[in-house]
Protein backbone atom coordinates (compact mmCIF):
# COMPACT_ATOMS: atom_id res chain seq x y z
CA UNK A 1 0.00 0.00 0.00
CA UNK A 2 1.65 3.24 -1.04
CA UNK A 3 1.45 6.62 0.64
CA UNK A 4 -0.53 8.97 -1.50
CA UNK A 5 -0.40 12.12 0.60
CA UNK A 6 2.30 13.46 2.93
CA UNK A 7 1.88 16.84 4.62
CA UNK A 8 2.93 18.62 7.79
CA UNK A 9 1.73 21.63 9.74
CA UNK A 10 3.18 23.67 12.62
CA UNK A 11 1.94 24.40 16.12
CA UNK A 12 1.15 27.92 17.33
CA UNK A 13 1.03 29.74 20.63
CA UNK A 14 -1.65 32.34 21.33
CA UNK A 15 -0.80 35.59 23.12
CA UNK A 16 -4.39 36.76 23.06
CA UNK A 17 -6.33 33.63 23.86
CA UNK A 18 -9.26 31.99 22.15
CA UNK A 19 -11.29 31.01 25.20
CA UNK A 20 -15.06 30.72 25.05
CA UNK A 21 -17.20 29.97 21.99
CA UNK A 22 -20.36 31.43 20.48
CA UNK A 23 -21.02 28.07 18.84
CA UNK A 24 -19.48 24.89 20.22
CA UNK A 25 -20.31 22.70 17.22
CA UNK A 26 -18.54 24.94 14.72
CA UNK A 27 -15.94 26.43 17.11
CA UNK A 28 -17.03 30.02 16.58
CA UNK A 29 -14.89 32.02 19.05
CA UNK A 30 -16.32 34.53 21.52
CA UNK A 31 -13.34 36.83 20.97
CA UNK A 32 -10.52 37.44 18.50
CA UNK A 33 -7.08 35.92 19.12
CA UNK A 34 -3.47 36.49 18.08
CA UNK A 35 -0.74 33.86 17.85
CA UNK A 36 2.81 33.19 16.76
CA UNK A 37 3.31 30.13 14.54
CA UNK A 38 5.99 27.77 15.87
CA UNK A 39 7.40 26.60 12.59
CA UNK A 40 9.73 23.86 13.82
CA UNK A 41 7.22 22.02 16.03
CA UNK A 42 5.13 20.08 13.56
CA UNK A 43 2.59 17.33 13.06
CA UNK A 44 3.17 15.05 10.07
CA UNK A 45 0.25 13.29 8.40
CA UNK A 46 0.40 10.52 5.82
CA UNK A 47 -2.66 9.15 4.07
CA UNK A 48 -2.86 5.79 2.32
CA UNK A 49 -5.77 4.41 0.31
CA UNK A 50 -7.70 1.45 1.69
CA UNK A 51 -9.97 -0.93 -0.19
CA UNK A 52 -13.66 -0.08 -0.42
CA UNK A 53 -14.46 -2.81 2.11
CA UNK A 54 -12.43 -1.09 4.82
CA UNK A 55 -13.37 2.01 6.82
CA UNK A 56 -11.23 5.03 7.64
CA UNK A 57 -8.80 4.39 10.47
CA UNK A 58 -5.98 6.11 12.34
CA UNK A 59 -2.50 4.89 13.28
CA UNK A 60 0.53 6.55 14.84
CA UNK A 61 3.13 7.61 12.28
CA UNK A 62 6.17 5.51 12.99
CA UNK A 63 8.80 7.93 11.73
CA UNK A 64 7.78 10.50 14.40
CA UNK A 65 7.85 10.62 18.21
CA UNK A 66 5.74 8.22 20.25
CA UNK A 67 2.14 9.33 20.37
CA UNK A 68 -0.65 7.65 22.32
CA UNK A 69 -4.06 9.06 21.52
CA UNK A 70 -7.01 8.13 23.74
CA UNK A 71 -9.95 6.38 22.07
CA UNK A 72 -12.01 9.56 22.22
CA UNK A 73 -9.21 11.62 20.64
CA UNK A 74 -8.92 9.12 17.77
CA UNK A 75 -12.71 9.25 17.32
CA UNK A 76 -12.65 13.07 17.26
CA UNK A 77 -9.82 13.05 14.70
CA UNK A 78 -11.52 10.53 12.42
CA UNK A 79 -14.88 12.31 12.71
CA UNK A 80 -13.29 15.49 11.50
CA UNK A 81 -11.54 13.55 8.72
CA UNK A 82 -14.97 12.32 7.56
CA UNK A 83 -16.35 15.85 7.71
CA UNK A 84 -13.38 17.13 5.67
CA UNK A 85 -13.87 14.38 3.07
CA UNK A 86 -17.51 15.26 2.68
CA UNK A 87 -16.93 19.05 2.53
CA UNK A 88 -14.05 18.69 0.06
CA UNK A 89 -15.67 15.97 -2.05
CA UNK A 90 -13.05 13.29 -1.32
CA UNK A 91 -14.01 9.76 -2.40
CA UNK A 92 -12.67 6.57 -0.79
CA UNK A 93 -11.51 5.18 2.53
CA UNK A 94 -8.11 5.81 4.03
CA UNK A 95 -5.55 4.99 6.65
CA UNK A 96 -4.57 8.30 8.27
CA UNK A 97 -1.27 8.20 10.17
CA UNK A 98 -0.07 11.13 12.22
CA UNK A 99 2.78 11.98 14.54
CA UNK A 100 4.56 14.96 16.04
CA UNK A 101 8.24 15.87 15.92
CA UNK A 102 7.91 17.01 19.56
CA UNK A 103 7.15 14.92 22.66
CA UNK A 104 3.51 14.08 23.22
CA UNK A 105 1.88 15.69 26.25
CA UNK A 106 4.56 18.32 26.80
CA UNK A 107 1.97 21.07 26.92
CA UNK A 108 2.35 22.11 23.31
CA UNK A 109 -0.84 22.73 21.45
CA UNK A 110 -0.74 19.52 19.44
CA UNK A 111 -4.40 19.84 18.44
CA UNK A 112 -3.49 22.99 16.49
CA UNK A 113 -0.82 21.24 14.43
CA UNK A 114 -2.64 17.92 14.12
CA UNK A 115 -5.99 19.33 12.96
CA UNK A 116 -4.39 21.78 10.54
CA UNK A 117 -2.25 18.96 9.10
CA UNK A 118 -5.37 16.82 8.68
CA UNK A 119 -7.11 19.66 6.84
CA UNK A 120 -4.10 20.06 4.52
CA UNK A 121 -4.06 16.31 3.84
CA UNK A 122 -7.77 16.20 2.96
CA UNK A 123 -7.37 19.26 0.77
CA UNK A 124 -4.42 17.81 -1.12
CA UNK A 125 -6.37 14.61 -1.65
CA UNK A 126 -9.38 16.52 -2.96
CA UNK A 127 -7.20 18.47 -5.40
CA UNK A 128 -5.65 15.20 -6.55
CA UNK A 129 -9.15 13.88 -7.18
CA UNK A 130 -9.85 16.89 -9.38
CA UNK A 131 -11.72 19.21 -6.98
CA UNK A 132 -11.23 22.98 -7.04
CA UNK A 133 -8.51 24.16 -4.60
CA UNK A 134 -9.33 26.44 -1.64
CA UNK A 135 -7.08 29.33 -0.66
CA UNK A 136 -5.27 29.30 2.70
CA UNK A 137 -7.88 31.56 4.33
CA UNK A 138 -10.72 29.25 3.34
CA UNK A 139 -8.67 26.26 4.49
CA UNK A 140 -7.99 27.93 7.83
CA UNK A 141 -11.69 28.50 8.48
CA UNK A 142 -12.41 24.90 7.57
CA UNK A 143 -9.70 23.69 9.94
CA UNK A 144 -11.19 25.79 12.75
CA UNK A 145 -14.22 23.52 12.65
CA UNK A 146 -12.00 20.62 13.75
CA UNK A 147 -10.15 22.53 16.47
CA UNK A 148 -10.42 26.30 16.70
CA UNK A 149 -6.78 27.12 17.37
CA UNK A 150 -5.67 25.01 14.35
CA UNK A 151 -6.82 27.72 11.92
CA UNK A 152 -3.94 29.97 13.02
CA UNK A 153 -1.39 27.25 12.17
CA UNK A 154 -2.13 27.51 8.46
CA UNK A 155 -0.40 30.88 8.21
CA UNK A 156 3.13 31.86 9.19
CA UNK A 157 4.41 34.29 11.80
CA UNK A 158 1.87 36.50 13.58
CA UNK A 159 -1.69 35.40 12.89
CA UNK A 160 -4.95 37.05 13.87
CA UNK A 161 -8.25 35.16 14.02
CA UNK A 162 -11.24 37.47 14.16
CA UNK A 163 -14.73 37.88 12.71
CA UNK A 164 -12.96 38.97 9.51
CA UNK A 165 -11.34 35.51 9.25
CA UNK A 166 -7.74 34.37 9.65
CA UNK A 167 -5.06 36.79 8.51
CA UNK A 168 -1.33 37.20 8.75
CA UNK A 169 -0.21 40.40 10.46
CA UNK A 170 3.22 41.95 10.53
CA UNK A 171 5.08 43.63 13.37
CA UNK A 172 8.71 44.77 13.64
CA UNK A 173 9.48 41.53 15.54
CA UNK A 174 10.22 38.48 13.41
CA UNK A 175 11.95 35.13 13.79
CA UNK A 176 10.95 34.84 17.44
CA UNK A 177 12.56 32.05 19.48
CA UNK A 178 10.03 29.85 21.29
CA UNK A 179 10.83 27.92 24.50
CA UNK A 180 8.46 26.06 26.80
CA UNK A 181 9.10 25.25 30.45
CA UNK A 182 7.72 21.74 30.81
CA UNK A 183 6.40 21.65 34.35
CA UNK A 184 4.25 18.57 33.84
CA UNK A 185 3.94 16.31 30.83
CA UNK A 186 0.91 14.11 31.58
CA UNK A 187 -2.37 14.37 29.69
CA UNK A 188 -4.48 17.17 31.15
CA UNK A 189 -7.63 16.28 33.07
CA UNK A 190 -9.74 19.06 31.54
CA UNK A 191 -9.24 19.49 27.80
CA UNK A 192 -9.33 22.94 26.17
CA UNK A 193 -12.65 21.99 24.54
CA UNK A 194 -14.14 21.30 27.99
CA UNK A 195 -12.61 24.52 29.36
CA UNK A 196 -14.33 26.54 26.59
CA UNK A 197 -17.67 25.25 27.95
CA UNK A 198 -16.96 25.41 31.66
CA UNK A 199 -15.90 29.07 31.77
CA UNK A 200 -19.43 30.18 30.86
CA UNK A 201 -20.27 29.66 34.56
CA UNK A 202 -17.72 32.26 35.69
CA UNK A 203 -18.95 35.74 36.53
CA UNK A 204 -15.68 37.05 35.08
CA UNK A 205 -16.76 35.68 31.71
CA UNK A 206 -19.43 38.38 31.39
CA UNK A 207 -16.88 41.01 30.29
CA UNK A 208 -14.30 38.59 28.89
CA UNK A 209 -15.01 39.28 25.23
CA UNK A 210 -14.53 43.04 25.67
CA UNK A 211 -11.30 42.58 27.69
CA UNK A 212 -9.76 40.17 25.17
CA UNK A 213 -10.67 42.32 22.19
CA UNK A 214 -9.32 45.44 23.91
CA UNK A 215 -6.05 43.65 24.73
CA UNK A 216 -5.76 42.49 21.15
CA UNK A 217 -6.06 46.06 19.92
CA UNK A 218 -3.55 47.30 22.52
CA UNK A 219 -1.09 44.48 21.85
CA UNK A 220 -1.15 45.08 18.09
CA UNK A 221 -0.56 48.78 18.68
CA UNK A 222 2.42 48.35 21.03
CA UNK A 223 4.00 45.62 18.87
CA UNK A 224 3.66 47.94 15.90
CA UNK A 225 5.45 50.66 17.88
CA UNK A 226 8.17 48.21 18.93
CA UNK A 227 7.31 48.44 22.64
CA UNK A 228 8.34 44.93 23.76
CA UNK A 229 8.02 45.64 27.50
CA UNK A 230 4.43 46.82 27.17
CA UNK A 231 3.73 43.77 24.98
CA UNK A 232 5.05 41.53 27.80
CA UNK A 233 2.73 43.26 30.29
CA UNK A 234 -0.33 42.79 28.09
CA UNK A 235 0.47 39.11 27.42
CA UNK A 236 1.02 38.56 31.14
CA UNK A 237 -2.42 40.02 32.05
CA UNK A 238 -4.04 38.06 29.26
CA UNK A 239 -2.96 34.58 30.35
CA UNK A 240 -3.81 35.40 33.98
CA UNK A 241 -7.22 36.56 32.82
CA UNK A 242 -7.82 33.19 31.13
CA UNK A 243 -6.60 31.25 34.17
CA UNK A 244 -8.78 33.41 36.42
CA UNK A 245 -11.76 32.33 34.32
CA UNK A 246 -10.85 28.71 35.01
CA UNK A 247 -10.45 29.28 38.74
CA UNK A 248 -13.70 31.25 39.08
CA UNK A 249 -15.82 28.78 37.12
CA UNK A 250 -18.35 26.75 39.04
CA UNK A 251 -17.13 24.09 39.57
CA UNK A 252 -13.71 25.66 39.52
CA UNK A 253 -10.71 24.05 37.86
CA UNK A 254 -7.11 25.00 37.26
CA UNK A 255 -3.83 23.98 35.70
CA UNK A 256 -1.13 25.91 37.56
CA UNK A 257 1.11 23.99 39.96
CA UNK A 258 3.65 25.12 42.56
CA UNK A 259 6.36 24.70 39.90
CA UNK A 260 4.40 26.86 37.46
CA UNK A 261 4.29 29.62 40.08
CA UNK A 262 8.00 29.22 40.79
CA UNK A 263 8.85 29.61 37.09
CA UNK A 264 6.51 32.59 36.68
CA UNK A 265 7.93 34.35 39.71
CA UNK A 266 11.53 33.82 38.53
CA UNK A 267 10.67 35.22 35.11
CA UNK A 268 8.90 38.25 36.54
CA UNK A 269 11.87 38.93 38.80
CA UNK A 270 14.17 38.69 35.79
CA UNK A 271 12.07 41.30 33.98
CA UNK A 272 12.06 43.56 37.06
CA UNK A 273 15.84 43.34 37.45
CA UNK A 274 16.75 43.66 33.78
CA UNK A 275 13.98 45.72 32.20
CA UNK A 276 13.92 43.12 29.42
CA UNK A 277 12.92 39.49 28.96
CA UNK A 278 10.67 37.21 26.92
CA UNK A 279 6.95 37.47 26.26
CA UNK A 280 5.37 34.97 28.62
CA UNK A 281 2.14 33.05 28.20
CA UNK A 282 0.35 29.86 29.21
CA UNK A 283 -2.24 27.68 27.46
CA UNK A 284 -4.84 25.58 29.25
CA UNK A 285 -2.08 23.62 30.98
CA UNK A 286 0.64 24.00 33.62
CA UNK A 287 3.54 24.77 31.27
CA UNK A 288 5.00 28.20 30.67
CA UNK A 289 5.72 29.44 27.15
CA UNK A 290 8.34 32.08 26.36
CA UNK A 291 8.93 34.02 23.15
CA UNK A 292 12.29 35.76 22.72
CA UNK A 293 13.20 38.34 20.10
CA UNK A 294 15.87 37.19 17.66
CA UNK A 295 18.40 39.58 19.25
CA UNK A 296 17.78 38.04 22.70
CA UNK A 297 19.85 34.88 22.17
CA UNK A 298 22.26 35.74 24.96
CA UNK A 299 19.50 36.82 27.30
CA UNK A 300 17.70 33.53 26.58
CA UNK A 301 20.84 31.52 27.53
CA UNK A 302 21.17 33.64 30.65
CA UNK A 303 17.56 32.94 31.71
CA UNK A 304 17.91 29.20 31.07
CA UNK A 305 21.16 28.97 33.02
CA UNK A 306 20.51 31.32 35.93
CA UNK A 307 16.80 31.84 36.35
CA UNK A 308 15.31 28.48 35.37
CA UNK A 309 17.98 26.07 36.53
CA UNK A 310 16.47 22.66 37.33
CA UNK A 311 13.52 23.19 34.99
CA UNK A 312 13.09 21.15 31.86
CA UNK A 313 12.93 23.55 28.93
CA UNK A 314 12.15 22.48 25.38
C1 LIG B 1 -6.04 27.90 25.62
O2 LIG B 1 -8.44 25.09 19.85
O3 LIG B 1 -7.84 23.45 21.65
O4 LIG B 1 -4.96 27.05 23.70
O5 LIG B 1 -11.66 24.49 19.39
O6 LIG B 1 -12.34 23.02 21.30
O7 LIG B 1 -10.44 22.34 19.81
P8 LIG B 1 -11.21 23.50 20.42
O9 LIG B 1 -10.21 24.23 21.41
P10 LIG B 1 -8.69 24.59 21.21
O11 LIG B 1 -8.55 25.78 22.27
C12 LIG B 1 -7.33 26.42 22.45
C13 LIG B 1 -7.36 27.19 23.71
C14 LIG B 1 -6.05 27.82 24.11
C15 LIG B 1 -5.93 29.25 23.59
C16 LIG B 1 -5.59 29.44 22.14
O17 LIG B 1 -4.88 28.62 21.54
O18 LIG B 1 -6.00 30.48 21.61
pLDDT in tens, the chain (314 residues): 455 899 999 999 999 999 999 999 999 999 999 999 999 999 999 999 999 899 999 999 987 776 778 899 999 999 999 999 999 999 999 999 999 998 765 566 679 999 999 999 999 999 999 999 999 999 999 999 999 999 999 999 999 999 999 999 999 999 999 999 998 876 678 999 999 999 999 999 999 999 999 999 999 999 999 999 999 999 999 999 999 999 999 999 999 999 999 999 999 999 999 999 999 999 999 999 999 999 999 999 999 999 999 999 98
Digit-coded pLDDT (tens) for 289-298: 999 999 999 9
Domain co-membership, 222 together with 304:
yes
Nearest ligand 1 atom, CA 283:
1
Q: What's this model's pTM, rounded to 2 decimal places?
A: 0.95
Residue 130 CA to ligand 1 centre (angstroms): 33
Domain co-membership, 157 together with 60:
yes
* CATH code, 183: 3.30.70.890
CA distance 229 to 50: 54
Domain co-membership, 36 together with 153:
yes
Domain co-membership, 95 together with 195:
no
Query: Checking phi first, is residue 204 left (phi over 0); if not, alpha (psi -120 to 50) or beta?
Result: alpha
Domain co-membership, 191 together with 150:
no
Domain co-membership, 89 together with 197:
no
* Listed residues 141, 169, 197: the one ending a domain: 169
CA distance 226 to 210: 24
Q: Report the pocket of ligand 1 as residue ranges, CB < 6 Å.
A: 14, 17-19, 27, 33, 109, 111, 147-149, 192-193, 196, 283-284
pLDDT, residue 24, reads 96
For the chain, how long is the longest CA-to-CA vector? Answer: 66
pLDDT, residue 116, reads 98
Cα separations in angstroms, 95 against 49, 57, 242, 295? 6, 5, 37, 44
Give me the domain span that covers residue 9: 5-169
Spell out the residues 6+ positions from residue 124 whose beta carbon is closer than 8 angstroms to its own: 5, 7
**Is residue 155 packed enough to be buried (19+ CB in 10 Å), middle (13-18) or exposed (0-12)?**
buried
Domain co-membership, 162 together with 218:
no
pLDDT, residue 65, reads 73
Spell out the residues 6+ positions from residue 113 whose beta carbon is closer than 8 angstroms to its own: 9, 10, 11, 12, 41, 42, 43, 100, 150, 153
Residue 164 CA to ligand 1 centre (angstroms): 19
Domain co-membership, 231 together with 146:
no
Amino acid sequence: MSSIIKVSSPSNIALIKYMGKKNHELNVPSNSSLSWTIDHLRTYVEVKALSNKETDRWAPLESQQDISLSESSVARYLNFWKKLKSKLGVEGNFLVSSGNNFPFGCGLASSASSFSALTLAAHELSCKQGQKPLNEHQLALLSAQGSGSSCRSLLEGWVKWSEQGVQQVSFPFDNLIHKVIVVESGEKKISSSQAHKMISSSLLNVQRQARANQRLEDLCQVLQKGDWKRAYEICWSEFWDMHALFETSEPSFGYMTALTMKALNSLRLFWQNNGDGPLITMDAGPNVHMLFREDQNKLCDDILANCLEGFSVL
